[in-house]
Amino acid sequence: MKKRGIKIIISAILFVLALVIPFSNEWINNGLFIISYLVVGFEILKKAVRNIFRGKVFDENFLMAVATIGAFAIGEFPEAVAVMLFYQVGELFQSYAVDKSRKSIASLMDIRPDYANIEKDGKVEKVDPDEVKIGDIIIVKTGEKIPLDGVIIEGRSSLDTMALTGESVPRVVKTEDEVLSGCINKDGLLKIRVTKEFGESTVSRILDLVENASSKKSKSENFITKFAKYYTPTVVIIAVLLAFIPPIILKDFSTFSVWLYRALSFLVVSCPCALVISIPLSFFGGIGGASKMGILIKGSNYLEALANTETVVFDKTGTITTGQFYVSKISIYDKKYTKDKVLELCAKGESLSNHPIAASIIKEYGKEVSTEDIKEHREYQGKGITYKYKDQNIKIGNSKFCNQKETKNIYLMINNNLVAELEIKDEIKESAKETIQVL
């Protein structure tokens, strides 16, 4: 872009000099026009010649080359330079827009891991993720990104999967669980056996999707590609006929230069480059603009589909709501237990969990939790917790886990008897209503 910008400025200066200053020798003016033209148009001429040898004759480079060289041939030097100059200015703006969009997309998906901690002969070595092979053991410390897909062989933690799934609630993982690259280890040391090389890992595939977001073309783009394939040669044929047929019919070849000028004007005006460029550019600009606001659209076809959307289904937690859970109500069914005792038993079990709902129960309890008398503690991911306390079998979990009908609450069961029910709520974001209205 910088090179193109410098060329445009130099060409424009020479062009203005040739137009404004009345040199005594006409060759000086024409020489300035030609130099100005070559400065800004040489790359176009080179591409046109190269594409002809590759069998891609009818493109915008060919049309620009024919039209401008033709203008020189009939003595319209200023017009030849002006056409090429304005075309290059348009290309510069296009490059700027594309570059800006690309940077926006890249910054959105800042998930590429910089390194991997690989375990070799009992020592931990920091290496490039590309160097890690299937079967290698990697160490992921608290706060680090998981660099490659794998299976946990040692450790327990909660993972921030937001960059991959958009899910704000951390995912609890333990030994033998599969984990994906790009997730962030929130707490606890994890030893992971690598199951995919970096090139095949989740993070690599997502980055590839992002970098090639414009490759999934919309119906409009596919139509324009097909249209240009037939339209461009048609324009060239009509321009040739326009240059030669009228002088033959009129039997006045002195007017040939007039009709050639008209044919070249028709060629420039009919050049489909603006149409061919503007539609993909508008989609790419849309993808880049969305990514700047934190929205990843994987291709033009998806962006086009949004125009026809009538119904939108949202994930609730962290999207419509804040993701900050709290206990709003406690219903006790066994009168032997007080509210404090229910909270204490729930807090004991949840104190060993990293789940946000567990954190909300501990916060509601508001006291220091003792876990010394807890035995056989076990957490069932996405379901609940069981443990033994003073020869009692304690179960804390959702409706499915505790065989209850209501779905939104947490249940406390002791020796398979329902003792209490905790209603957990999540506050709606202040901006949610306005956002949905705007959408």
Cβ-proximal residues to 294 (8 Å cutoff; 6+ apart), any chain: 108
The rounded distance, in Å, linking the Cα atoms of 73 and 76 is 8
The rounded distance, in Å, linking the Cα atoms of 222 and 183 is 36
| Class of residue 50 by CB neighbours under 10 A (exposed 0-12, middle 13-18, buried 19+) | exposed
List C-alpha distances in Å: 37 to 34, 66, 292, 350: 5, 13, 37, 75
Nearest partner of 353 among 169, 193, 128, 176, judged by Cα: 169
Helix/strand/coil for 252: coil
Kindly state the tokens that stand for 317. Answer: 């937690």
Residue 143's CB is within 10 A of a number of other CB atoms, namely 10
Residues in the chain: 439
The rounded distance, in Å, linking the Cα atoms of 297 and 309 is 14
Q: Which amino acid is at 412?
A: L
What are the backbone dihedrals phi and psi of residue 235, each rounded to the nearest 5 degrees, phi first?
A: -60, -45
For residue 300, the Cα-to-chain-centroid distance in whole angstroms is: 12
Cβ-proximal residues to 67 (8 Å cutoff; 6+ apart), any chain: 83, 264, 267, 268, 271
DSSP assignment letter at 110: -
| Class of residue 115 by CB neighbours under 10 A (exposed 0-12, middle 13-18, buried 19+) | middle
Residues taking part in catalysis: 315
The rounded distance, in Å, linking the Cα atoms of 70 and 244 is 14
| CB 84 within 8 Å of CB 44 | yes
The rounded distance, in Å, linking the Cα atoms of 415 and 109 is 48
List C-alpha distances in Å: 15 to 41, 93, 140, 269, 340: 13, 20, 61, 21, 86
Kindly state the tokens that stand for 312. Answer: 């939108």
